[in-house]
Chains A and B, each alone.
Chain A
Amino acid sequence: MAAGEEGALWSIMGYLISGLLIWGGIGYGIDRWLGTHFFLLIGLLLGGGASLYLVWLRFGRK
């Protein structure tokens, strides 16, 4: 595969990691603050969805 494609794959992985990290981290913080348990899951799903949307914006549409 061409070098540009390899770079695109690593940057896709970077987006997914940071989406889960940021929104999952926010959910985890809210959980620690309020003493609940479900905001972490919401944050992870939100972050995963948002980063997949970002990947689609950057690499999916032509």
Chain B
Amino acid sequence: MRSFQYGSGGGFVPPSTSDFNLPPVIGHNPYTTKPIFLVVLSVVVISVFFLAASRKALVVPSKLQFAGESIYSFVRKDLGEEIIGHEFMRFVPFLFTLFTFILTNNVFGIVPLLQFPSMSHVSFPYVLALFTFVIFHWVGIRKQGLGTYLKGIAFMPGVPKLVYILLTPIEVATFFLVRPLTLSLRLFANMFAGHLLLLVFIMGGDHLIRGVVGLKLIAPFSFAFGIGMTFFEFLVQCLQAYIFTLLTALYIAGALSDEH
């Protein structure tokens, strides 16, 4: 790789990856950074919300109950029943947990005062993808038996024997390496890039407004674009939570069906 240097006059420091390594909150304990607290907070928020929404279930639902039930029925119908098929009920708790957990943690990125998507640290998506990885392989092995399942993955029917040398490594790599990796990196990269984008426009506007008069006039545009991008980020955050859950459901459905 060839690098090039550019004169660093002006003093504006563009936001970089170091903005994501937040210092520990309590002392020097590395387990007390902001993302950890945000994940714990998200668990509390989700639990309180759904316990409150389902505590007094009425036939004519209250507003809170309606909100909780519509999220649940969205995951159950659109992500569970339509994709997985008749065995979907076993997987609805997992899919629902995944969806609400990712959605809450993503939306923390634009909630004032919190404003940090914890999924922009790659370890959290890795763990979630690991859950998906173990579950869909486990389901496939339980359903079809180890030999049939691996054979179904590695050998595509209807191909001349010699071509398997070319295709089998690709199939195996897709199922055991690329699927969990792309699943987690897609979520991570979207959250990371989105947060970086917001940082660029807000910090840039902040820098411009301290400059000379001509720069002060440009600053409001930077802030306005930052606010517009915040709404766009909300869209991306919901979409990424949906895609992660959707792909999990599709992988489970693929492991359940005979010819994946």
- Interface residues, chain A, CB within 8 Å of chain B? 3-4, 6-7, 10-11, 13-15, 17-19, 21-23, 46-47, 50-51, 53-54, 57-58
Contacts and interface: CB of A to CB of B under 8 A. Distances in A.
Q: Is the interface of A mostly helix, strand, loop or mixed?
A: helix
A18 B177 contact: yes
Contacts of B14: none
A19 B178 CA distance: 10
Contacts of B171: 54
Contacts of A19: 170
Interface of B: 78-79, 82-83, 156, 158-159, 163, 166-167, 169-171, 173-174, 177-179, 182, 243, 246-247, 250
27 contacts: A3-B246, A4-B250, A6-B246, A7-B83, A7-B246, A7-B247, A10-B182, A10-B243, A10-B247, A11-B174, A13-B182, A14-B178, A14-B182, A17-B182, A18-B170, A18-B174, A19-B170, A21-B173, A21-B177, A22-B169, A22-B170, A46-B166, A47-B170, A50-B167, A53-B166, A53-B167, A58-B156
B156 A50 contact: no
A43 B148 CA distance: 30
A10 B254 CA distance: 14
Contacts of B156: 54, 57-58
Given A3-B79, A3-B83, A10-B247, 4 more contacts: A10-B243, A54-B156, A54-B171, A57-B159
